Amino acid sequence: MVREGANVSICARNAAEVETVVEDLKTHGTMCFGAPVDVSDKSALEGWVAESAAALGGIDIVIANVSALAVADDEAAWQAGFDTDMMHSVRLVNAAMPWLEKSDHAAITLISSVSGREIDFTGPAYGAFKGALVHYAQGLAYKLAAQGIRANTVSPGNTYFPGGIWQQIEEGNPELFAEAMSLNPTGRMGTPEEVAAGVVFLSAPCSSFTTGTNLVIDGALTKGVQL
């Protein structure tokens, strides 16, 4: 986003990491703001949204990209998925809406997953909430179209990066890692940059007539036909 000239606000739970990333983002020449936030905390999330709008002079785009990664098959996974994956997205949109309604290029982009499209080796709660995010965004797209506010989702496939979940699986569960690699006809996993390119496109004014879309970025991993 900053390479395209956008002012950006980010949050994460680790304050030191947020500070480091914000300083790095500032080197691209745009305004950047960040704060330590647990997005499952409603008041903290809403506070960060308001602070971001004040720091950057408004909000044109919101991108919800957080998951509890709750893949167990128990009630705790369902609760964690609801609190983090689902409700942080809903609360982010609701908190940002007063500023989105004032924007000439308002866009909402929610990060779902290919696990929301088909049954895979993740837990039932994870896939169910990822599917729910697509449904939620589609509803927003329809409801907000007359106001010029767009809403889309991006569904990444397996995405590998240092320190990420797939590196942890590669080191801790090599059998699962090998299974995941064998399912992708490209013979590799995606990169954050490849997913980010799709997110930037859907969020930018150049895709002004694209709303209610779920963009799958998975290297042909999934076999379902999206008509």
Q: For 29-48, write each residue's pLDDT tens digit.
A: 999 999 999 999 999 999 99
Is residue 40 annotated as part of the catalytic site, yes or no? Answer: no
Is residue 130 annotated as part of the catalytic site, yes or no? Answer: yes
The whole-number pLDDT of residue 225 equals: 84
Q: Check whether 200 has a pLDDT greater than 90.
A: yes
The whole-number pLDDT of residue 224 equals: 83
Q: How confident is the model at residue 226 (pLDDT cuts 50, 70, 90)?
A: confident
At the second CATH level, the architecture of 37-161+191-217 is 3-Layer(aba) Sandwich (3.40)
Q: Check whether 159 has a pLDDT greater than 90.
A: yes
Domain ranges of the chain: 37-161+191-217
Catalytic-labelled residue, pool 52, 89, 115, 130 = 130
N-to-C CA span, the chain: 29
Percent over 70 (pLDDT), the chain: 100
The whole-number pLDDT of residue 40 equals: 96
Residue 56's identity, in one-letter code, is L
CB 17 within 8 A of CB 37: no
Q: Check whether 208 has a pLDDT greater than 80.
A: yes
Catalytic-labelled residue, pool 126, 155, 160, 203 = 126
Give CA–CA dist 137/141, Å, rounded.
Answer: 6
Catalytic-labelled residue, pool 52, 67, 112, 113 = 113
The set of residues, in sequence order, having a beta carbon less than 8 Å from that of 187 and lying 6+ positions away, is 181
**Residues 76-91: what's their mean pLDDT?**
97
Is residue 113 annotated as part of the catalytic site, yes or no? Answer: yes
Q: Which helix (H) or strand (E) holds 134?
A: helix 124-144
